[in-house]
Amino acid sequence: MGRPPLIALIGGTGKTGRAVQAALSGVGVEAHALGRAASADLSAALAGADAVYLIAPNLHPDEPRYVADALAAMRAAGVGRVVYHSVASPYAPAMPHHLGKATAEDLVRRSGLAWTILQPCAYLQNLQAGVMTGALSVPYSLETRFGLVDLDDVARAAAVVLTEPGHDGATYELGGPALVTLAEVAAIATEVLGRPVTATRTDPDAWAGEGLGEREQVWLRAMFGYYDAYGLPTGGRVLAALLGRTPATVADVMTRWQ
Ligand SMILES: NC(=O)c1ccc[n+]([C@@H]2O[C@H](COP(=O)([O-])OP(=O)(O)OC[C@H]3O[C@@H](n4cnc5c(N)ncnc54)[C@H](OP(=O)(O)O)[C@@H]3O)[C@@H](O)[C@H]2O)c1
Q: What is the mean pLDDT of residues 225-231?
A: 98
* pLDDT mean over 106-122: 99
Confidence of residue 205 (pLDDT cuts 50, 70, 90): confident
pLDDT band at 144 (very low <50, low <70, confident <90, very high): very high
Please indicate whether residue 122, judged by its CB atom, sits closer than 6 Å to ligand 1.
yes
Task: Kindly report the number of other CB atoms within 10 A of residue 121's CB atom.
Answer: 25
> Higher confidence at residue 210 or residue 106?
106
- 64 C-beta closer than 6 A to ligand 1: no
Domain ranges of the chain: 7-257
- pLDDT above 90 (res 185): yes
Atom of ligand 1 nearest to the CA of 97: 47
If you count DSSP H runs as helices and E runs as strands, how many of each does the chain have, helices first? 10, 8
Q: CA-to-CA distance for 210 and 233, rounded, in angstroms? A: 28
CATH label, 7-257, candidates 3.40.50.620, 3.40.630.190, 3.40.50.720, 3.50.50.60: 3.40.50.720
Please choose, from the candidates 115, 24, 22, the residue with its C-alpha nearest in 3D space to the C-alpha of residue 67.
115
The atom number, within ligand 1, closest to the CA of 33 reads 43
123 lines ligand 1 (CB under 6 A): yes
pTM for the whole thing?
0.98
Q: Does residue 239 surpass a pLDDT of 60?
A: yes
- Read off the pLDDT of residues 44-82 as tens digits, 9 standing for 90 and up: 999 999 999 999 999 999 999 999 999 999 999 999 999
